[in-house]
Structure 1
């Protein structure tokens, strides 16, 4: 159950009233919630934290980085493609800063207080993590600011340092699990998993291994792989042992995207990614790439059939031929495999099927009720294997953790597969692990982080490897496109005597 909703409206409405200075008003409204009248009780503290979570429902805080694939940025202020993300990340950070600045002074149970502060620290780190992945710099704001605040440069390393501080505090004060009334809140394991990811992005693999080891040691109690992998992408088995941290989406409130009691809680991605056209039910804005289909088809399961992760992840031309035992029905269409012929599309046209909602309805909309899994245990296993080989463990020993994910998918262990040579060296193993991550975690938002961590965006050899599979990388310029441009309006408002304090990224 998604119990955070119980307190969500109070937090949103309370904090939405704190953005303007009261000095602008001649007469105070005694019924209006302000910073002076709020932040008095434990209930206020919890409402403030819930308002931080509420910004996970904004489009700019969950769209995947890998969706920006064509590397053609002309309008740096283009709202849907760049500015909205900057804006939403920093609004989320602002709300966390309010909690972290005001809750310490509230008289309440110290354990509960620290748990609330830890949740705000975790969420602030999550948003700064995305800022570093996208822009590799930003402005580091650690306390509430008013409208006179002038943003200034903070380096990528300064932001990583703050992320580490926030997540260290979070993991030290969050519980290992919440009761049913608070399912969906950040846990100690979520903080450790995100801290592990932050260390990995900085190539601090020894520290990352230590954090991920904590989750690995709790396999079978707190964490583990689900027998049915697809339960990770529906609303039928949410907040389960594989889900490390999930955005708690639901269709109970079908409102807009504002910051009031009518705001929607629905997951919108399925509407934008579902196929469009005569027989479609969405807009087809986000598409898969055919190379991923071809990679799935290179290896069959132990039973001789094709990998069901492909069937459940991608919709492509004549997919029914590869999965004759699976339904061809997709929403209200009895045989979706015929769409591609009717539309005259070729084999390059592929659509994202993962997270689709055709299992319970015949049309898509903006209010899907399935949670979005930001981190899950399969990712932890693959990340841990990477940390092991990067810190001197043999490929054979690291493969144990990759094999858990493969065997859940019905595949053989690596040593018994066509890829068995990958166990011969660290370098070959890492290259195979890169593909294992692509197959298991496609469309879950970590591809861009992976490409950056592996250095594939830093050299011509890396770009050539990517171009051989994905023609969108034909536009990629080394030294430029591994980061997004800072929104122009943010650079402009940072000027002092016409000199920007928040500078534009190189080559933009």
Structure 2
């Protein structure tokens, strides 16, 4: 057909340009400039932001290794698998060449890049303003979550807030951790004003205003701004107690069958099996056999009757803990990955109130709400008679309640327990080394690696 169009253009005796007849945009695939032109394109682009979180580089695989295997909840029972890259993470011998680190770095920035496209294009698109704001809010939430993880893993990282070309990216420098956290805070504050408190059932799984507030509270917790943690989380806690939008009722023994519907889930990375190419390894990560991991949570830490113990117990040879025990087909699963839960919020709230002033009745209420749901006995001031006692109890509760949810290593670091739990490990390993492939692509390499690493 093209030769006839060219012939017509050649024979035209008017001043009409041939461009009027030729549309050079590819018709079989979208390109960035021709995709984000309307609401449909913007919504499609937003889906890719959520999709980035699903990848093996992030919540599908690597984040569990970086946040859980690094801690004391697991033992790698196959140190030679994958050329030993996972085992290196566990035994603190990883280098900047570790492929899990490079994959995670690139995976997070892929999510950020996709969010930046949405935030760059959305203002110019003519559409319903409320819908547009909801899209912007979701993109800012995902970008904030990505940067929060980057800061926890590496500390100082490049703060990229626009869509960059290759040469621009080569000029990047590392922002301070405080600068990264401030951007996360700004994004979450704005997202919180744009997001609804809930979504219709067909759209469940999208970020909400409760998710933004919960993550913001967590960011403040990592900064030890305990008064802001408490004030930020208080509305979320009120909603949890009310039980209308959120609730502390995960019914743990049926985990994860209810992950998609439980009001305990504030935000989760969602998956769907059935030939939809949502490949994920997180579901089969924690088997107690000869080629994966062994759960390393001492049974003595659980009270008799605590229903969480069954979630992290072996179910026999080749068995796996019930917390992620859902069917798989061709390496696909419908089991979601919980990122923020009501129980997590209550424990953060209890911790913050205790750090502000010991003896707060609301702190005990929040702690005991989690314990009651787990069928564990309540804690009273007569049992936890000092601020230190309460702090220790919350730390233990977080380990038991959030086991295998990729918080353990980061909790160890932020609560200054690394030297106690891992004596002899140098403190610089509280952060991971910046991937060498990233450094190789940066023009100014000076100061780009974390201290202690070559």
C-alpha distance in 1 between matches for 2:52 and 2:425:
32
C-alpha distance in 2 between matches for 1:92 and 1:412:
42
1:427 matched residue in structure 2: 388
SS in structure 2 at match of 1:308: coil
User: Post-superposition shift, 1:84?
Assistant: 0.7
Q: Gaps spanning 5+ residues in structure 1: where?
A: 1-26, 255-263, 278-282, 301-305, 316-329, 331-335, 341-349, 458-462, 467-472
Mapped contact 1:395–1:429 kept (Cα < 8 A): no
C-alpha distance in 2 between matches for 1:31 and 1:365:
29
1:242 matched residue in structure 2: 264
1:428-469: CA deviation from partner (whole Å, max 9, x where unpaired): 110111111111111111112222221223xxxxx23x1xxx
User: Post-superposition shift, 1:364?
Assistant: 7.8
Matches within 5 A, 1:460-471: 463-464=419-420, 466=421
SS in structure 1 at match of 2:267: strand
Question: Is residue 176 from structure 1 mapped to residue 197 from structure 2 by the alignment?
Answer: yes
1:164-217: CA deviation from partner (whole Å, max 9, x where unpaired): 000001001000111122111000000000000001100111111111111111
C-alpha distance in 2 between matches for 1:412 and 1:502:
50
TM-score w.r.t. length of structure 2: 0.84
Matches within 5 A, 1:370-449: 370-415=335-380, 420-422=382-384, 424-449=385-410
1:504 matched residue in structure 2: 449
TM-score w.r.t. length of structure 1: 0.75
CA RMSD of aligned residues (A): 2.2
C-alpha distance in 2 between matches for 1:30 and 1:92:
26
Write out the 4+ residue segments of structure 1 that deviate beyond 3 Å after TM superposition: 27-32, 350-353
Mapped contact 2:286–2:321 kept (Cα < 8 A): yes
Change (3 A) 1:375 1:129: same
User: Post-superposition shift, 1:146?
Assistant: 1.5
User: Post-superposition shift, 1:153?
Assistant: 1.2
Mapped contact 2:55–2:280 kept (Cα < 8 A): no
Q: Give the one of 57, 65, 77 matched to 1:60.
A: 57
Alignment: residue pair count: 403
Q: Gaps spanning 5+ residues in structure 2: where?
A: 1-23, 72-89
Q: Give the one of 324, 341, 345 matched to 1:355.
A: 324
Matches within 5 A, 1:120-199: 120-148=139-167, 149-150=169-170, 151-199=172-220
1:366 matched residue in structure 2: 331
Mapped contact 2:250–2:264 kept (Cα < 8 A): no
SS in structure 2 at match of 1:137: coil
C-alpha distance in 2 between matches for 1:311 and 1:495:
51
User: Post-superposition shift, 1:474?
Assistant: 4.7
Mapped contact 1:177–1:187 kept (Cα < 8 A): yes
Q: Give the one of 425, 434, 437 matched to 1:476.
A: 425
